[in-house]
Structure 1
Amino acid sequence: MSLQSSEDTLKLYTIKKEFFIEKHVFTDRGSYVSKLQTFDGIQNVSFQIEMRKKRSAENHGDYYWGIYVIVNAPVSLECYVNFNLDSSERNKVHDCCDGIIDQGSDKIGIDEYIQHDHFMMKRSGFFLNKKAKITVKLTFSYTSKADEELYEPIKMIQSNEWCKRLQNHGKKDFKFIVGNVSIEIHKFFVTLESPVIAAMLENENFIEAQTGEMVITDFGAGIVKAVVEFCYGEDISYIMDLPDFAVDILLFADKYDMKNLKSAFEEYYCKKLTRYNVGKILEAADKVNAVILKNKCIAFIHKFPRKQRKDIAYGCKSLDYELRQLFM
């Protein structure tokens, strides 16, 4: 397997971790599994290191420790791994392996990494202060450009840099009240983004204009906070990756005619559709007449076999009957 990196090929993502394992693990147990490790750069990917003692396939009197990396990922990944076991006596053990990690949980590794008796011998020098140091270097890539584009993190952010520069200038003079939570914002920003709220604040007959507050009862505090962050040019992709919450962002944008937010939502999810979120996104896009996103969802669903299309359609409980029939 060759992992290459250039503008025309798949990107490479590398992480290097050191594991210090107590000697009694190898004398008292037959296996070791590390804590779950997160992987910055590839979304929703985590991994663990496993070592397992087993009898040699060729010489049944010998025992070896195998070493493996267990990867949890939402999509198949190409994986290259270097294992390095340090020794104070220059008996360093270095080996590597590669393979395809299937979607879900999968592992690759080396069955006979180090012979047990040799590992345990004091003069081999593998244990310092009764701990063995194992360094693992993993290099991942997606198996297709389509997967790379889908799962690579992207930001949900305004392009207007000036809103960041003005964020901390002057006292915030308007607030949203959500239950017991008060969320402050500059009136200038909220009226710039929402002509609906701007009209309220220009009319003295509205209580919002009199109090400088707006009570929100149909959206949670987390949604309103994310909307305010967006108004200030901050990245809200952390909530966009949760479809149930993301849908509320779109509904809020539609209710208060926040065209920038609605447009950014459509652009974001046109790149982030999956079999598991497309039903929810289609329902929301249809409800608020987000035409570009709606058509993108329809085309995306039509790529699946008929049974999967029907499963998606039946899962869309609020979808218009005629639209649902397109997928039957």
Structure 2
Amino acid sequence: MSVEPVDDNRKLFAIRKSFNFDKSFFVDRTSFLSKCQAVEEMTDVRWQLEMRQKRIPTKRDPAQWGMHVIVHSRTQIECEASFEIAGEENSVLKCYNGIVGQNGVKIGTDEFILHEDLMGKKSGFFENKKTKITVKVSFCFTSKAEEELNAPAKVIQPSDFAKRLQAHGPKDFKFFANNEFIEVHKSFLSLESSVFAAMFENQNFKETQTGEMHITDFGLGIVKAATDFCYGEDITSYMDMHGSLAADIYLFADKYDMKNLKASIEDYYSKKLTAYNVANILTAADKVNSVDLKAKCVNFVQCLPKKEKRSFLYHANLDPILRGLFF
């Protein structure tokens, strides 16, 4: 018989938080819910501590205090939580674990400690009528692939913008959309878009003469995201869960030949495809004839488990030609 170690190179994300409670809390109240807190480096994962006194169906049943961490996550993750209540002379420590697959899943127990054991005169849990409850929670993704998919990524210029941002004058061009406008520097647009560069060099264009351009096929938010990118800002926040905003930014970048922006979005979604966003990204890639990104989208769908693929094809908003790629 042999025992071989198994390497697990998944990253562990750990947090530790302590809460101080007055003894009167356990007399006057029956529940506590902490503020929702983020987990650093884990996209869309939040947690909070819940304490609740279990109701007593009959007077014979003793009251119990339950301890849980409530985990909010869009992605399936593994979670391990430990709870400790400690005073001057006594402490209780218990650990629990589970897999979280949807928002609001609880990890813990309804029966952490009896109320009478906690509040007894000689319980030893209180020092100067105060006790401390410490929760330690560790999270990890269920696979290395899920970890890589959810790793922080940016949609930002690869270039050094320090020189570009030096010695530029006032903004000299306006984009209008939805009865609102934003102001930009023509020089910045020209560096990122061959279409705008050609427009600004030709005095016959109305937009060049007036210093204004009215956009009717994209919202102002899309235009702002594209111009923010020109200024070297990180526009990852526009890469929404379903990819609809990102798809429109991608189409805008294609229309105005913003090669750096297109390449950055393609690179981002080559690593960040999910069942939620792949339909919108595939549709956009098809419209701009991006062979590589389209192929990655198709391969992603083809590799989905049979049940997930069936669900995707049932719900996805795809035109008949794109849908036909999967049959």
TM class by shorter-chain length? 0.7 to 0.9
Which residue is 1:71 aligned to?
71
CA contact (8 A) 2:84 2:92 kept: yes
- The separation in 2 between residues aligned to 1:315 and 1:95, in whole angstroms, is 43
Residues 1:152 and 1:301: Cα distance change in structure 2 (over 3 Å): same
- After superposition, give the CA deviation of every residue in 1:84-111 in whole Å (9 maximum; x if it has no partner): 3242x23233333333333444222245
State whether structure 2 residue 215 is matched by structure 1 residue 222: no
CA contact (8 A) 2:279 2:318 kept: no
> Which amino acid letter does the alignment assign opposite residue 296 of structure 2?
K
CA contact (8 A) 1:309 1:327 kept: no
- The separation in 1 between residues aligned to 2:111 and 2:308, in whole angstroms, is 43
TM-score by length of 1: 0.85
How do 1:112-261 residues align onto structure 2 when only pairs under 5 Å count? 112-121=111-120, 124=123, 126=125, 132-161=131-160, 163-167=161-165, 169-171=167-169, 172-242=171-241, 243-261=243-261
- The separation in 1 between residues aligned to 2:167 and 2:23, in whole angstroms, is 58
Residues 1:131 and 1:168: Cα distance change in structure 2 (over 3 Å): farther
Report deviation, 1:299.
Answer: 0.7
Residues 1:261 and 1:73: Cα distance change in structure 2 (over 3 Å): same
Which residue is 2:4 aligned to?
none
Moved more, 307-316 or 230-239: 307-316
Which residue is 2:304 aligned to?
304
Which residue is 2:266 aligned to?
266
Which residue is 1:37 aligned to?
37
Which residue is 1:93 aligned to?
92
Instruction: Give secondary structure in 2 for the equivalent of 1:166.
Output: coil
- The separation in 2 between residues aligned to 1:155 and 1:52, in whole angstroms, is 40
Report deviation, 1:115.
Answer: 2.6
- The separation in 1 between residues aligned to 2:244 and 2:35, in whole angstroms, is 30
- After superposition, give the CA deviation of every residue in 1:256-313 in whole Å (9 maximum; x if it has no partner): 0111111111111111111111111111111111111111111111123556445534
Instruction: Give secondary structure in 2 for the equivalent of 1:35.
Output: coil
- After superposition, give the CA deviation of every residue in 1:51-76 in whole Å (9 maximum; x if it has no partner): 233499xxx66443221212121222
Moved more, 149-158 or 35-44: 35-44
CA contact (8 A) 1:75 1:102 kept: yes
> Which amino acid letter does the alignment assign opposite residue 227 of structure 1?
A
CA contact (8 A) 2:279 2:317 kept: no
Instruction: Give secondary structure in 2 for the equivalent of 1:160.
Output: coil
Instruction: Give secondary structure in 2 for the equivalent of 1:47.
Output: strand
CA contact (8 A) 2:89 2:125 kept: no
Residues 1:123 and 1:175: Cα distance change in structure 2 (over 3 Å): farther
CA contact (8 A) 1:279 1:313 kept: no
Give the aligned CA root-mean-square deviation in angstroms. 2.9
Question: Unaligned 5+ residue runs, structure 1?
Answer: 1-5
Instruction: Give secondary structure in 1 for the equivalent of 2:326.
Output: coil
- The separation in 1 between residues aligned to 2:16 and 2:73, in whole angstroms, is 18
- The separation in 1 between residues aligned to 2:197 and 2:55, in whole angstroms, is 74
- After superposition, give the CA deviation of every residue in 1:197-224 in whole Å (9 maximum; x if it has no partner): 1111111111221122222222222222
Residues 1:164 and 1:128: Cα distance change in structure 2 (over 3 Å): farther
State whether structure 2 residue 284 is matched by structure 1 residue 284: yes
Report deviation, 1:160.
Answer: 0.3
> Which amino acid letter does the alignment assign opposite residue 53 of structure 1?
Q
Percent of aligned pairs with the same amino acid? 51
- After superposition, give the CA deviation of every residue in 1:8-43 in whole Å (9 maximum; x if it has no partner): 701111222233456555335544333333223111
CA contact (8 A) 1:25 1:32 kept: no
- The separation in 2 between residues aligned to 1:166 and 1:100, in whole angstroms, is 48
Instruction: Give secondary structure in 2 for the equivalent of 1:214.
Output: strand
